[in-house]
Chain A
Amino acid sequence: MSAIVVEHEHDHHEHGPAKGLLRWVITTNHKDIGTLYLVFGLAMFFVGGAMALIIRAELFEPGLQFVNPQFFNSMTTMHALVMVFGAVMPAFVGLANWMIPIMIGGPDMALPRMNNMSFWMLVAGILLLASTLFMEGGSPAAGWTMYPPLMLQTGTALPFAIFAVHLLGISSIMGAINIIATIFNMRAPGMTLMKMPLFVWTWLITAFLLIAVMPSLAGAVTMLLTDKFFNTSFFDAAGGGDPVLYQHIFWFFGHPEVYIMILPTFGVASTIIPVFARKPLFGYSSMVYATASIAFLSFIVWAHHMFTVGMPIAGELFFMYATMIIAVPTGVKVFNWTATMWKGALTFETPMLFSIAFVVLFTIGGFTGLMMSIAPSDFQYHDTYFIVAHFHYTLVPASVFILMAAGYFWLPKWTGHMYNERIGRLHFWLSAVSVNILFFPQHFLGLAGMPRRIPDYAVQFADWNMISSIGGFIFGASQLLFLYIVIDTIKGGTGEKVTNEVWEDAAKHSLEWTLSSPPPYHSFTTPPTVIPTEHI
């Protein structure tokens, strides 16, 4: 390491990106790697989306139409894995790479080479996972939770899927280490922790969650691997193991994992809403503490995913109450966003529209979560479409909407071009309406008893499934508008010249708006002298 450092010090003149395509392979620049992550995340969003449309097409009518049940189950499994590990997480890591160094006034990420490595490991992991689609016996079909003993019935694909999870895990852990090191060591003088934009705060906490839980997932899937091939009996009852143990380890990872996807969402929302409300964020420090509380609570609620496994009553009660407590810090956040907008001089550009929709629709997802936290009621909802509706409300009109909002918010900064606001708003309204047509009926289906992960269903579920599928196809098609806007903006957009600030008075909120649009390849090689504090 020291040799590299010395070389770096001699080589300190300004230089732009390397020429040619190889630039993207060997780059260690945080903006390049951020772009790679974001483009990869967007590509996987369409791959995972295509899988979702296969699911919705099959469920359009009762009976088996297009795919066989095994492939259908592969699709539910792969859709989830691709969306979680290929789309949402990488997109947020991309935002972190692009924005964190700029927001804290640092020159780059702390460990640029590791940054490059974690991106390419992600690509390798996803390719390995995708390769299972072409293997004998098909890709994993036991659900993204990969419960044994069902998961162990996967064909040739099993070890490949497990190694894919290992790679994705190592990639996320390296990304997280990089983010923590960047935030701790690379801040500009005067950028104290409590002056950092909330996006940086939420990512700092998320990165700790990643380091704490991704290794447990790696452990759980390694146990699956040794159970299958090396004669261990961690989860095999015949050898004295217990399949329920897997569920405990998986959800010890799985519950923090869902917050890994939602905390950066909160961070971006807290960044965008004040800019368009033209007010400082309401309750900055309470936002920080609420984020930390949610992260802490995420470690002690995992068994609420397992209320029906036969836990003693004391366990059911503990996990029920602990889960309900999460509503308190989450409520603090929702009220703070609302209070930020209260009496603000609001304007409704596309990023703000997506953010407001997030606040409203995420709250619906939160409430259904609260319903399921009640253990006795959960026996009714467990493994039905109600849970599908719940987590899609917290992921699609929440995490995905906020990723869209972030795209519209920062695209002018990244490219120096303005996106087409009219098409942006059209994209928003189509998405916001269709996402509700898609997921709201699933609440009714679940309450009426339709189980999840089935390719065929009883006829009384037909109507709502058809409506849900129609919503799904409109939602899927609408996202092509976003793809068009991204490409169009990169190519020059409306041709309107964007200022450094892009949005009115944005520079009061955060440092990225003090740089040119697009920012220079190397920014803040000398630290900024004025630290914006409006967001506090």
Chain B
Amino acid sequence: MSRSVSQKNTRLARKLVMIALLMFGFGYALVPLYDVLCNLTGLNGKTDSAAVNEVIYPVDKSREITVEFVTSLNNSAPMEFRAETKKMKIHPGEYYTVNFYAENRTDKSMVSQAIPSISPGVAAEYFRKTECFCFTEQKFKAREGKTMPVRFVVHPDLPKQYKTITLAYTFFDNTERSVKK
């Protein structure tokens, strides 16, 4: 192999390695891109992760929407967790408060995080929460039970075809994770 060809090969190989490294970075860049996309489109029913301010909307009395509340525990977390109301009829634009009850069933203190999800996913951007226990980690003492309110409004712009919205919460036992931190 002549010297010039060999140099050309090395130069090309370097460029190609750079492309490979860039694509490794691209894999990581997909993480924030995905979050942005989810926020824009309501993909996967992701809701706001922080409280929104309470704004007064015109209440649409002509429409009634059923909101259902579903609770579950990840990986059989040692807790009790339920919604005090299973389902309610609401009007878009009006504020409502529902209570959830969660209890630590162990003899040790516990840190838990509830993760919300909305179905259908496209309705997520119209579902606004001004107060939710899911915005922060919840600390429970041994055997402690708590009643926690969620205050929400469904934006009056919600497209007409959505008659039922399901709000699902999953509680994750984060005790170990927060110890590591």
User: Which residues does chain A contribute within 8 Å of B160, judged by CB atoms?
Assistant: none
Contact A242 B44 (CB under 8 A): yes
Least distance between A168 CB and chain B CB atoms (Å): 14
- 0/1 interface trace, chain A 113-125, chain B, CB 8 Å (1 if under): 0100000000000
Alpha-carbon distance between A178 and B16 when the two chains are bound, in angstroms: 10
Q: Is A252 in the interface zone, CB < 8 Å from B?
A: yes
10 A-B contact pairs sorted by A residue (CB < 8 Å): A1-B6, A180-B12, A186-B5, A219-B26, A223-B28, A237-B172, A238-B172, A239-B113, A310-B45, A315-B41
Q: Is B159 in the interface zone, CB < 8 Å from A?
A: no
Residue of A with least CB distance to B121:
A310
Contact B17 A177 (CB under 8 A): yes
User: Which residues does chain B contribute within 8 Å of A185, judged by CB atoms?
Assistant: 5, 8-9, 12
A residues at B contact (CB < 8 Å)? 1-2, 5-6, 8-9, 107-108, 110-111, 114, 173, 176-178, 180-181, 184-186, 211-220, 223, 231, 234, 237-240, 242, 244-245, 248-249, 252, 309-312, 315
Contact A219 B3 (CB under 8 A): no
Q: Is B170 in the interface zone, CB < 8 Å from A?
A: yes
The tally of CB-CB contacts under 8 A between chains A and B is: 118
Least distance between A87 CB and chain B CB atoms (Å): 24
Contact A240 B74 (CB under 8 A): no
- Number of chain B interface residues as a range: 35 or more
User: Which residues does chain B contribute within 8 Å of A219, judged by CB atoms?
Assistant: 24-28
Least distance between B51 CB and chain A CB atoms (Å): 16
User: Which residues does chain A contribute within 8 Å of B98, judged by CB atoms?
Assistant: none
Alpha-carbon distance between A224 and B26 when the two chains are bound, in angstroms: 16
Contact B27 A220 (CB under 8 A): yes
Contact A114 B19 (CB under 8 A): no
On whether A215 and B24 interact (CB within 8 A), knowing A114-B13, A238-B74, the answer reads: yes
On whether A110 and B16 interact (CB within 8 A), knowing A237-B172, A312-B42, the answer reads: no
Q: Is B79 in the interface zone, CB < 8 Å from A?
A: no
Contact A249 B16 (CB under 8 A): no
User: Which residues does chain A contribute within 8 Å of B2, judged by CB atoms?
Assistant: 9
Contact A248 B30 (CB under 8 A): yes
User: Which residues does chain B contribute within 8 Å of A6, judged by CB atoms?
Assistant: 3
Residue of B with least CB distance to A107:
B1
On whether A249 and B27 interact (CB within 8 A), knowing A107-B1, A211-B19, A311-B43, the answer reads: yes
- 0/1 interface trace, chain B 1-37, chain A, CB 8 Å (1 if under): 1110110111011001101111111111011001000
Contact B19 A5 (CB under 8 A): no
User: Which residues does chain A contribute within 8 Å of B19, judged by CB atoms?
Assistant: 211-212
Least distance between B102 CB and chain A CB atoms (Å): 15
Q: Is B174 in the interface zone, CB < 8 Å from A?
A: yes
User: Which residues does chain B contribute within 8 Å of A237, judged by CB atoms?
Assistant: 74, 115, 170, 172
Q: From B6, B13, B177, give the contact of A239 (CB < 8 A).
A: B177
Contact B13 A177 (CB under 8 A): yes
Alpha-carbon distance between A316 and B3 when the two chains are bound, in angstroms: 53
Contact A212 B23 (CB under 8 A): yes
User: Which residues does chain A contribute within 8 Å of B8, judged by CB atoms?
Assistant: 185
Contact A108 B1 (CB under 8 A): yes
User: Which residues does chain A contribute within 8 Å of B121, judged by CB atoms?
Assistant: 310, 312
Contact B44 A310 (CB under 8 A): yes
Alpha-carbon distance between A214 and B17 when the two chains are bound, in angstroms: 12
Residue of A with least CB distance to B113:
A238
Q: From B3, B46, B122, B174, give the contact of A5 (CB < 8 A).
A: B3
- 0/1 interface trace, chain B 75-112, chain A, CB 8 Å (1 if under): 00000000000000000000000000000000000000
Contact B1 A216 (CB under 8 A): no
Q: Is B180 in the interface zone, CB < 8 Å from A?
A: yes
